[in-house]
Structure 1
């Protein structure tokens, strides 16, 4: 998600004006031959509007203050955010603003509060924080389910309801589904190598080149061959008990990349110790070094007392406001 500052906004405006002017002038000159060419004048206006629409909206969204409940959620539940430098935290906040402005988050038989929306956005931002202008193109909505679901997207107590998240295909193209308890529990323990939100957004990073094949478009020529060779060898070998990578990774190439992405962002020091070369490949594909972030000295966590004024500015006590909204759900055992 490209962030827009004053310079970017001004450059976009100049380009839009130039393009619209060329179209309008061409229409006026060609109108000498036939008045029908005057149709280019409204087309020029349309071109200006189309070229300015996203940039202008993002510029306005980023200029808005960051809501207190979002800040409280990031501070209390997202360790990755807390460990970032102040500059990177500001970038993180701006990406959250843009994401939540452009992607609809809908609860299906469950309540979706601002804390839940913030965790969805954090799941989206963490994998792309190292990219300058990555776009989750095609994603329009995230559905939040009250629990795990089956192949028919139904939530019930049957043994088939084991899916915790998925990127929609076919008629659900452009939609992601996440189990709310699993989304929350993924951030409750940042060392268990499991985070369903990061997992599903890793699939979207992978999908950006058109195929969910376990090879993200961010893999350059130097990284592509050793990565493909490594994954191929991993999926061909016999997997036994005691693997440091979750068994679900060995389903196929796409799941291997998504599961390893959870591992990379949740327990980077462990991954690097177990396999330094694999960690280096992930660093190159994500343009990030989570070990440097999570392994740095812990920045003192801002503590808000239960009876203190809520940092969101509501005037309520923290225990009656954002603390209640940010209550953690119950983890699910199924993968």
Structure 2
């Protein structure tokens, strides 16, 4: 995996300075870090005099609460890349996370700058600005903006804070530096309380009822050497609900008493599952990578196809192959 160095930061900034037009690509099923990263880059690039467009390679709209992030409404849903000098992917832990744009990005890797914080990112651009220890991709972008001499204003700070507060679980995990960055962003005058309400606290009655139906089916299961809390969110239950509500399901099982891990199987389309893994005992990014996904040491995910029985069996087999130690 490509490691971060000051030289990479300089090379990333040089790519941006040389470009006149830029497409900033966020990952499919966007979260606040993805949308905040795209939006922060759009605003910053325009401050630098660049033509910039934000795109996500999927047909379905992302969660409405993410539209509270400045410039989020300008992000386009697309199946092709615009003609630009430079492509910047943000918060995409692997090229498949760029969705419908992945083939074009693979072909244009020499025109692609990858900005990310996922430990499993292999790097798929001509320059890969990867800082696995960073709490969010917006944290990485803050370092890049410093290199580009882009001063923070309230809107850019709002975008950066959106990724930081959500990817740290409202500052429950991360380095001391995350609080220093939060303080810097808050000094621009952002309303941190309202950002938290918009991105974390706000929910609808129908979404809350859906969460209740899924949680009613929670069970504990021995998966390999682990005791896991498992949720299965079938398509007919989660269809039509916000991405934010569906993604929040894993928060209820990430640290259930008496378990070592949390697993959520989300049926995004018939027979197509997005699997979220959480653990403070094992490196779940290794598990996710083995199954074609990626992520962080305590939080990762992957996608799979088939019946729920076969998908669950594949996860158990992957853990067994890896020889995951018994946490007891």
TM-score, length of structure 1 as denominator length: 0.26
> Which structure has the highest helix share of the two?
1
Query: Would you tell me which structure has more strand in proportion to its own residues?
Result: 2
Which structure has the higher relative contact order (CA within 8 Å, separation 6+)? 1
Larger Rg: 1
